[in-house]
Structure 1
Amino acid sequence: MSLWVDKYRPKTLAQLSYHDRISQNLKALSASGDFPHLLVYGPTGAGKKTRVYATLQEIFGSAVERLKIDVKTFTTSSNRKLEFNVISSPYHLEITPSDMGNNDRVVIQDLLKDVASTEQVDFTSSKVKHRFKVVVINEADCLSRDAQAALRRTMEKYSANTRLILVCNSISNIIPPIKSRTLLVRIPKPTIEEIGDILNMVAKKEQVKFNSNDPQAITSFLNNLAEKSDRNLRRSLLAFETISMQNETIPITNNSGPQLTLDWEIIISGIADAVLKSRSVATLAKLRDAYYELLAHCIPAKIILKTLLFNLIEKLGDSNVVPKLVELASDYDERLSLGQKSIFHLEGFTANAMVALES
C-alpha cells in the first residue's frame, strides 16, 4: 500500500494539472531533436522531480519506470573507499552527490565519466531516436565548488552522449558557467486553489468522508489545509492522508482547517524558547540532546538551522539583534556545507546567538 503522494503522482506531462505553460514547453523540448541540459529549480513541494520524470517519460517512454538501485564504490585520493547509491533505468541515472560531503567531486568525476564515455543506443526500435543518457542530479545547489567545476568540464566534453538535469531549490549557489550552459526552468509553488483541487480529487477517489456535505465547506477546508502547508503540495497530501487515517469522518467546523504542527517543528520552537529564556552553558548542554534527536530522525541540519532562525525572528519581532542572527545563520549554513559534524555547527550557532542576544 503506497502513500497518496506516490499513488497519485502524475507520470506524464499531460496528467499534470498546474503550470500548463511549463508542461507545454517541456513537451516541445522533448519532441525536438536537440534536448538541452536543464537546471530545474523552485521551492520544496512544487513538483520539480515529478515534472522531471514526466519529461523523461515523454522522451523515452515507460522504460524510465523500470528503476533499480545500484551501489557504486569510489576511491578518494587518500585511498578511502566510499559507497554511493545510484538509482537508474535503461535510459537515465539519478544521483545525489551532496550526500558524500566534500567527496562529491569524486562522484561527479568518476560516475559521470563512465556514463558519458559510453554511447546510448536503443536496440528496441529499428531507428535510434536518442543517443544520449540523462543524469538527474538532486540537490545541485549543495554541491561544492570543486564538484561544480568538474560538472562543467563534463558538460563540455561529453555533451554528445549525456544530458544533465540539475534539480535544486535555489540557483544562488550554482556557479555562472553551469547556469550559462543549461536551460533554466523555474517551477513556482502551485496556488492554494490548485492544491485544493488536487486534494478534492484525491478525496473523491479515496472516498474520504466529511461531516458536512456542503461542497463549499469542503473546498474551504482543503484550501485552508493547503495554506497552512505553505502551498507545499507534498506536505498537503501527507497531512491530508494523516488526517483521514486519524478520523473515520473528518470534522469540519467553522470552515477552518486543522492545526498542522509537526513534532520536529515543536522541538525547534522549544529550542528557540530555551535560547531566549536562559542563555547559559547548562542550557546549551541540554539543547545538545534535542539536536541529536532531530538529527537521529533524519531532519537535515540546514532545515534545523533555518527553522530555528525563523522561530527566533518571529519571537523577537523588530529587535535590533535580528540582523546579527541572520548573519550568523548565513555563516553557519556555509559551514554545514563544508564540515562533517553537523552537531558542532548547530551548537556553534546556538552559542553565538546566545552571545548576540546577551550583548
Structure 2
Amino acid sequence: MTTAVLNPVKAFTLIALGLAIAAMGIYVANADDAPGAAVIGMLLMVVGVVLGVRAARNRLPMWAARSALAVGVVVAAFAAFLTHAVVVTAPLFPQSQEVPSVVASAPSPQHTAAVERARELVRAAVLEQNLPGVSVAVGAGGTVIWAEGFGWRDVVTRTPVTPDTRFNIGTAASAVSAAAARLGLTNTGADAAKEWSPEAIGEEGEDFPPLTLLRHVIWQPLGLMPAEYPLPGHRATFYVPRSDDNPGRGRRLMYMRDLACCANGMAFYSTPFDLVRFALATHPDSVNGELAGGMVMSLLTGRDSGIVIAVTSNMAHANTSSLALRVADAFAQQTR
C-alpha cells in the first residue's frame, strides 16, 4: 500500500523536477549571447526529458519510453538551437535612444549642434546595422573637437565603449603604426593576437569545450578563476557576422587568426581619437581598415572642409565608411 502511494508521488516529483530543469535550460539558452549558453540550455532540457521519461517508464512499454526519450532529445536540441539563433539575431538595442554613449568631454558651444546631429546619425547606424559598438572622433583646426563611444565593447558583459576603447584596425596598420611613436599616440600599437582572443577562438589551442563549460559555469561564478571578458587594457571584443557578411543576421566571436591579420601574429590597435591626431599631423588620404574580409575602421580626410573623421567598430563588415561620410556632412553643414 505504501509503495502504491509513493510511486505516483515519486513520479510527480520527478516530472516537476524535470519541468523545472527544462525551464532553467530555456532560460539559460535565452539569457546569454555566448554559444555555450545554447549548449548548456540543451543539456539542461535533455536532463528534464530524461527525468520525465524515467517517471513514466513504469507505465510505458520499453519501446515507447525509448521513443519518447529520443524525440525529447531532438526537441530539446532544436529548441536550444532556435533559441540561440533568435537571441544572436535580435536587435542589441531596441531603439536608437537606448544606445549608451560615453563622451570624452562636452563639445564647445560652436560645435554643439553638429555633435547632436552626428550623435543621431551614429545611433541610427548602430541600430540599422545591429552593431555592438562604435567609436567616433572628429578633428578640425588642428585639434580633436569631439570623441565619443557608443554601444558595448563586449556584448556579454555589456561593458560600454568609451573614447579610450582600443579597436583592432586591421589592414590600416601599415598606414598608421609607423607614425604612432613619433606622434606620441599612447592608445595606438600592437599586441599579440592572444591578448584579443584569450580562448584562442578558432585555433588549435582553443580550450576543450567541457573545460570551457566548467570554467564558465562553475569556476568563474564562484570567483575561483578570472573572467576573460571584458578584455583588459580597454580592448574591444571583436565579432563577425554569422552569415552573409551581414551583421544584422547575428554574430560570433572573431577568430584569433583574423585578429592577427597583418604581420607575425600581431594585432594592431588604435582609437578614433589617436587616428584623428594622426591624420591632423600627417594629412593622409582616406584610409579603411579590414578584418575577416570586412570593414572595421574608416579614417576620412575632408580636403575642402579640413574636417577629419575617424570611425571604428568591433564588428566586421560594419559600414564605417558610410557613417564617416554622414558625420562629415553633419559637421560640414555648420561651416556652410
When normalised by structure 1's length, the TM-score is: 0.25
| Bigger radius of gyration among the two | 2
Bigger strand share: 2
When normalised by structure 2's length, the TM-score is: 0.26
Report 1 or 2 for greater relative contact order, CA contacts < 8 Å, sequence distance ≥ 6: 2
